[in-house]
Amino acid sequence: MSQKIKAPNEKSNGFLWGIVAIVVIAVVVIALVVIQGRDDKAGSLEPVAADVNFNVSVEDGSIVLVSDDVAADAPVAELFEDYSCHYCSDLVIADHESLQTAIGDGKITMRFNTVNFLDGGDDGHSTLAGVVAMAIADSGNASAFWGFHNWAFINRTEISGYSLDQFADAAETLGVDADTVDAIRDGSVRDEYQALLEANMDELTNREGDSAGTPTLYVDDTKFDLQQDPEMDTETQMADWVPEVVG
CATH number of 49-246: 3.40.30.10
Q: Model-level pTM?
A: 0.83
DSSP secondary structure letter of residue 9: T
Residues 181-195 have a mean pLDDT of 97
Residues 134-147 have a mean pLDDT of 98
pLDDT exceeds cutoff 50 at 233:
yes
User: Per-residue confidence at 44, pLDDT binned at 50, 70, 90?
Assistant: low
DSSP secondary structure letter of residue 217: E
Give the whole-angstrom CA distance, residue 116 versus residue 166. Answer: 19
User: Per-residue confidence at 45, pLDDT binned at 50, 70, 90?
Assistant: confident
User: Per-residue confidence at 126, pLDDT binned at 50, 70, 90?
Assistant: very high
Give the whole-angstrom CA distance, residue 133 versus residue 231. Answer: 30
pLDDT tens for residues 55-67?
999 999 999 999 9
pLDDT exceeds cutoff 80 at 33:
no
User: Per-residue confidence at 123, pLDDT binned at 50, 70, 90?
Assistant: confident
CA dihedral sign of residues 24, 27, 31, 33: positive
